[in-house]
Each structure stands twice: as structure tokens, then as C-alpha cells.
Structure 1
Amino acid sequence: MSSLAATQADGYYIPPSYYASGAYKSKSISQHAGSKGHNQYLTHSIARFELPYDGFCTKCHAIVGKGTRFNAHKAHVGDYFTSKIYEFTTKCRACAACEFKIRTNPKEQSFDYVVGIRKKVEEFDSVEAGTHGVIDTDIGAGIYQYKDGKLLDAEGEGGDAALHALEKMARGHRKALTEHEHMESLIQINTKMEEDADANANLRAGYRKERKAKKRRLEDAKSRGLGRGIFFEGETGEDVATAREVMTIRDRRKERDEAYRSEKKQFISIRGGSIFSSHKRHSSKTTLELDKIRQNEESTRKSAEAMIENGTRMKKKILVCPKNIEKGTRIEVKDVKSNSSHGVISALADYGSDSD
């Protein structure tokens, strides 16, 4: 009850004369109780019940398969410690005259068929049956052939009987081992799939995970502009290895380009800088190039000093022509010393004599 409803129910004063006059009867007792709930279980205690085991109707002997669903009346009929025992009541679909009553069994964690329905026996105790988990259908291994009231020996007679007995024993031993392995595998499967509800929940969880992954792939493809219904498949180990290789190649190429740009920038700075610069170079390569330039300058200076000491002079060829020289005049070039002005005068004199 909400807080407002509680206030309306208990927050008003009702005088004793109201109950003495009997007016409350017309508003409570004489009226219909109204709706008890919003579904058939709350209203009529009707629940959807699914048959847990195969069974037979005790009246018409019709087979009622496991998983058949009924609209059953659910009632609380007892308790097992703190667990409630519920009883489900329904009718046979075939004859509609036999009433089924099925109860929960918290102690055995199962269901009991109480009235109107008989459970189909699908399991037995191998120890009580005397089979020890091995059912041999071969002739002679628990199954005998009779003819005219006499037992037939299918294994033979005479000296071969002992050999047949050994073969029979070995064959039975091998079959027992095979059946034992088969029983172990069945036990493992039953241990894994013991509860139908758990197996169903695991299966649905796997499907749910797959659906969500597919939905994410569709949304990713849609964000990339792909058409409807197109999606990217999940990544594999090969895709991861290929992506890692591509990223490695890209990083190496990036490092190589950065090294090339740095070297080019350094080379441009060296070519553009002065060879007589006195500031320090941080790069070892630049220092080596500057040392080489200084060595070349030093060797050039020493060779020039040696030439001056030996009296060697550089010669120049001077061609002196008058302003008004006639076309076709022969001109002879002579070597003169650069530090003598007399050579120029002699050349002019020789020119004059030749032109005459």
C-alpha cells in the first residue's frame, strides 16, 4: 500500500455511531471483492506447467510426453524444512476425464506423479539387475538357445570346448572394457548436462554473446558507411600478425624518413654556413668536414709560400690593340712579365714595326 493510500485508510476519524448503525456493511461486506491481480495466476492460481517426465494416463493409457504444457492449478500443500511443496492439478488431454496431480519433491530435487498419471520407467539399477553395467546380447553370454526343450551348444563339442571357453572369456573381457568406457563417457555427459535448465541457460548465453558481437559489427560497418546487412568479420590470429607486420614496416619507414630529413637539413646547414666560423659544431660529422677544409687551406698556403721563396712568378698574357686598327691586320701575342712596364712598351714597338 502506498503512503497516500495508507493516509486515506487510517488518517480519518470514524465515530462509533458509524459501526453501530451498520452503515459500514453496505460499503464493505455487501460489495464484490474486485480483481485479485493482473494475470491468471493471481486471479485463479492458474500456472503454465510443463511435464517433467514421460508418463501414461491411468484411465485411457494415453502417452503424455515430456515437455507437454498444461494450464494447471497451483496450490501450496506442504513444506520440506523451509522449501514449499507445490501441487499442480490438470486433466488428461486425450480423455479429459482423468485428473493429474503432480507434486514437487525438494528432498529428491524432482517431481512426483501422485494421481492420475504414471511415470514411464527409463532407468534401472544395474547392481539390482545383475548386469553390472554390461548387457551382452551375444548367443552364449547369458542368452541360450533351446530346441525341443533341450539346450543347444553353439560352441561345439569335444576338445574345442576349452578353446571356445577361452575365446568366450576373452571376448567378454574386451566387451566389458568397451562397455565400461562407454559408461564412463555417458557419466561425463550426464555430469555436464545434468540439469536441463543449466544447459539451456548456457546455450542461450552463448547465443546472446554471438548476437551482441554481430550487432557491434553491424554498427561498426554502418559507421564506416557500408550498406545495410554488411558487417566486418571478427579478427583472427592471421589478421593480428598481418597488422603487426604492417605497423612495423610503417614505423621503420617513418624512422628512415626522419633520419633522411635530419641528414639533409644538416647538410644544407653545412653548405650554407661559413667555413671560417669559429663557433662550435655539435655534430661529429660537421667537425670532421671542417677539419678537412682547414687542412686543405693550410696545404694551399704552404704551397704558395714555397713558390714565392723559389722566385717563381706567375705570367700573364696582355693583348694591347690600338683603337683604329684595320681589318685583316696580323697580331702577334708575346709573353711579358707582369711586374715590368718595359715589356708593354716593347710590345707596342714591335707592333708598330710589323704594321709598317
Structure 2
Amino acid sequence: MQGFNMGRYVPPELEGTTSGNRLNKKRAPGTLRKDGTQTVRFEMPFAVWCHTCKPHAIIGQGVRFNAEKKKIGYYYSTPIWQFRIKHAACGGYLEIKTDPKETAYVVTDGGKARDYGEGKDRVREGEDGLPILTPEERERRREDAFAALERKVEDREAVKDNAKRIEELYRSRERDWEDPGAVNKKLRNTFRRERKLRKREDDATESLKERLGTNIDILPEAEQDAQRAKLVSFGSTNVNAPNGTGSSNFLRSPARQTVKTPSRSKSSSAVKHSESKKDALRRRLVGSTRAALNPFG
């Protein structure tokens, strides 16, 4: 465009005789100054927190600035450069320098690099890092890497199997609930049957408690008790047995039998006679039953 040179206005009568920067007494970007500084285009290598902003604001990675570049030292023969940039949002300055030793950038003033959780130092092989590995150690680590890769392959196969099983379960569920009305009807019928069964069991338990005249909770019938009861069979009824030794006598309800408790004034012979009667009753009961386990043992 006529009248412009390097972005600065140059009158037509002076065009070709001078530059826009010289005419406006400005230094071109990138020109080295007498103090050793120069203006360059600098791009943020990572996100940085600006401490001048209140509250602290973050400058995203890749944001570009006109930075003042300056050489501040050497790492062996490699120059260390410092970049001073101005944050337009708050007017504060940040200083970032190169770190040839770690091949990284370091924020030295005005802010702080964002912590990505990767740790401050990166482990490298060589100086100030891991020792230099021998060929044998490298081969061993390579084999370990292959072993880890094989484990990853096995894990992927397990994930595929699990996914297949989950898919089968989903299909089974969809098949079972294809007709929700029929399934609900089946569930209701099952619930009604179980409810009636529980009602009969509760009524039988209450009736037994009324006959026994007790309020003690009666446990439900156990399978083990039913099996033991099947192993017991009583002898035949003998009404003509002397002294009432028939099974019809000792299997009577305890309510019809009256047991007299001996008084303290009775003699020891009466106590012995009562004990002998108990032993005789126990012997008759054992002799009249046939069981796999002695209930009095």
C-alpha cells in the first residue's frame, strides 16, 4: 500500500528515502539495543498464574506477547535467555527464563507455573538422573516391558469376556421381561401362595401356644429336628401290662398326672423311692422306643 512502510505511515514525498521506523524514531522489532535487549514475539510454553492480578488469574498456554529478550548468563556454552512480558489485563510484568540444564522454562518473577501434577523434576538417564544403563540392563528392562504388555493383553481379554457376560445378562433380562404383565402376574401368584403358607404356620403356632398356655416364642420347625423325629418309633400299646407299664400310660399328657412333691418331713427312704420311680420310668421309656440316639445320654 502506498504511503505505508513496515506498518508505519510514510508521506508520499519521503517514500523511498527513509523508513517508517526511522521517521517515527521507533526501533524495529527484534533489533538488538545497546543494552543487549531486543523485543521478540514470545508464546507462553505453559499455563502461568499471574500474581499481580487480584485475585490471581491464569494465562493460558499459547498466549502470545511482545517480550523483552535478554541474555543473563550461560550454562556451559549455552546462553540463558530471560523474557520480560507485560500482562495487559493488570499491567503487571512476568519474567521467564530458559533452563538449559532441564531443557525447560522457569517463571522467576511475577507469577508461578501451573501445577499439572506431573512433579517438578523429570527423571532422565545420565547426569543428576538415573545411572547410564548397561546393554544387559537395557535388555532386561525391555523384557519386563514385554511382560507388562502381555499382562495388558490378558487384561483386555478379561475385559472382553466381562463385556460379553454383561451383554448376555442384559439379553436375559430383556427376554424375561418381554411381557411385563405375565411376569407381574407370576410374581403376585407366588406372593399369595407364600403369604397363605405363612398365615397357616402362624395360626398353628398361636394354637399351640394357647394349648400350652405360654407366651414364649416358638421357633419354626427345623429340618434336623424332623429327621431326628423320624428315627424314633414307639412300641405297641399294651393295656394289660402290669403296673401300667404300657406305652399308653407313660405317653399320657402330663396335665393328667399328678406329681406330689415330697415334704421336708419325709424320710430319706421316701426320697430314694421317688428317685427309683424316676429311674424305672426312664428305663421303660428307653425300652419302649427305638432311636438312633439315646435322648438321656
- TM-score of the pair, normalised by structure 2: 0.29
Higher strand fraction (1 or 2): 2
Q: Which of the two has greater helix per residue?
A: 1
